[in-house]
Structures are given as structure tokens and as C-alpha cells.
Amino acid sequence: MNMKRYSELDTEMPIGVFDSGIGGLTVAREIMRQMPNEKIVYFGDTARVPYGSKSKETVTRYSRQIVRFLLEQKVKAIAIACNTASAYALPEIEQECPVPVIGVIRPGAKTACSCTKNGRIGVIGTRATVSSGSYTEFIHQIMPEAEVFAQACPLFVPLVEEGLWEDPVTDEIARRYMASLLDHGIDTLIMGCTHYPLIRKTIGRAAGDMISLINPAYETAMELRQMLGEMNLLADHRPALGSTVPQYRFYVSDMAEQFQQFANSIIKYGILASEKIDIYNYSGKPFSAEEGAG
């Protein structure tokens, strides 16, 4: 990490968090819980969700547009709170971006490695996350002898978005997805998609009591806190009450009202408003030397 690039940043600046839509709120919620002094600017790409069925090229272009928007909001760090975007775009964004960036995959892989006893780890995620092989790669960097079994669960995201968190249909789908993973004798399962922690109970029922479920959001917030601490960028006090700029700001690319309702059911801190912005106004091209590290 080149610390010189970060000399313009200060503790008062917000953390930028983005996802393809609502799922990243599970990561934002964890950042709020672990770092109550921090301001957050959240962007949900509700116009273009899902990312999980799109190509690496498209997801990387979308991610660059969002990063440009977040940089305009003067963020001091960016959390890619989307497994698919972390799997596809993190290496490019990390390389190009003039502020520190964290994804959810490495933290999730790390937790799984410290949790497994038999070295057999399951990963569930979108088709894109599973086919990227990103979790397997990070797990093998930490634990070369681990055996990783991945299963795409494309029906989970629509089921969550339809509000079927506790429903026999979701239970049945979960059992089917879990069957092949259970045959491999896994003892640890990474919920490698931001929506999945919202159906943790259903996944837990299908997986059974003997399997530890890993939510990468928790470890991501911990790593982010550690990273900001090492860079002396942690906010040391809560923003003043009644400040004109709210502590948490939410932006979306479409359906602001619907997002707000959903967000209020996930985050208990009260989402005052979410604003729609035109993400297409931001370039999806690689960052130039002036904008980024070059």
C-alpha cells in the first residue's frame, strides 16, 4: 500500500460503501455498529441490479462509475459491499483508486479459514462470484490445503428481494442448493452474497447445526476499522447532533422510495432519505493518472 497517495485524507471524511442494490446494507449496518463515530455515504445501484448475472467487464465499468461518484462525495475509504463487484472489480479499483479500498471476499475467506476444523469449506454466492473463483483463490492463499466447494444460488437474491425471508419456498430452495455441499462434508459455509445474511436462519436450517455460517460483513467492518486505525483515519467523535449533513447518506440509481422502505427494515438507525442520482453521468473508464494512482 502506497501511503503517500493518501496524504489528502482526514478523519472527518465519510466512508463510501457501495453495492448493486440493497444487499450491501448488511455491510453498512456492521460498519455502523462497529464504528459508530463514522459517517457513511452509501450507494446502491438499484437501476442495474443484479450484478450476479453480468460480465466482469460490465461490473467493473459500473464499479468505476460508482467509485467516481463516491470520490466526488470526498470519502476517505471505499468498502465494496458486494461480493460480485469485489470478485470482479476489486483488483482494478484497488490499483486505480486514490483512496484505500476494501472488498468483502478476503475478509470472508480469512474468517472461514480460522473457523474450519476439517479444511472443507463451502461457498455460496451469485453465479458471477462462484465462477470468478475468488473465494477459492483467497482461501488457498491462507490455507493451501483447504478444499473449497462452491455453489451458485441464483434464486436467493430474488427471494430475499420479494421479502420471502421466512417461507417454505425459500426453505425448499435452500435444501436443494445445500444438498451437494453437504455431500462434500463441509464444516464451514461462507454466505458469499450480501443478501444471504438476511436469510441466515433458512440457510442455517438447511445446512444443519454442525456447519458454521460465515457472514463476511462482520470481518470486513473489522478489517476496515483496523486499516483506518493504522492510517490514523478513524473518526474520534460522533458528528454533532443537528449537523446539516446527516451522518448516514444514501444514494441510489433508481427507485429511491422503495430502497428507503427496504433499508429501514434492515437498518435500525433511521434512514431519513435516499436520493436518486444519475450514475450514467460518471465515466466507467479506467482512472487516469491524475485521478488515481495511474
Residues forming the active site:
82, 193
With a CB cutoff of 8 Å and minimum separation 6, the contacts of 276 are 251, 252, 253, 254, 255, 256
Rounded Cα distance between 185 and 57, Å, is 35
Which one, 44 or 292, has the nearer CB to ligand DGL?
Answer: 44
By CB under 6 A, name the binding residues for ligand DGL.
19-20, 23, 49-52, 82-84, 125-126, 129, 157, 193-195
Report, in Å, the least distance between residue 160 CB and ligand DGL. 9
Q: Are 89 and 160 in contact (CB under 8 A)?
A: no
Report, in Å, the least distance between residue 138 CB and ligand DGL. 15
Report, in Å, the least distance between residue 242 CB and ligand DGL. 34
Starting from the edge strand earliest in sequence, which strands make up the sheet with 188-192, in order? 147-152, 120-125, 188-192, 212-214
By CB atoms closer than 10 A (0-12, 13-18, 19+), residue 288 is exposed
By CB atoms closer than 10 A (0-12, 13-18, 19+), residue 7 is exposed
3 state DSSP class of 6: helix
- Please list the residues that pair with 248 across neighbouring strands: 40
Report, in Å, the least distance between residue 60 CB and ligand DGL. 14
Which one, 46 or 247, has the nearer CB to ligand DGL?
Answer: 46
Q: Which residue is at the shortest CB distance from ligand DGL? A: 52
50: preceding bond cis by omega (within 30 degrees): yes
Report, in Å, the least distance between residue 17 CB and ligand DGL. 12
Report, in Å, the least distance between residue 20 CB and ligand DGL. 3
Which one, 5 or 61, has the nearer CB to ligand DGL?
Answer: 61
3 state DSSP class of 124: strand
Q: Fill in the DSSP letter of residue 279.
A: G
Rounded Cα distance between 44 and 20, Å, is 5
Single out the residue of 240, 175, 267 nearest to residue 39, CA to CA. 240
Element (H, E) at 192: strand 188-192
Rounded Cα distance between 229 and 282, Å, is 31
Cell of 55: 460480465
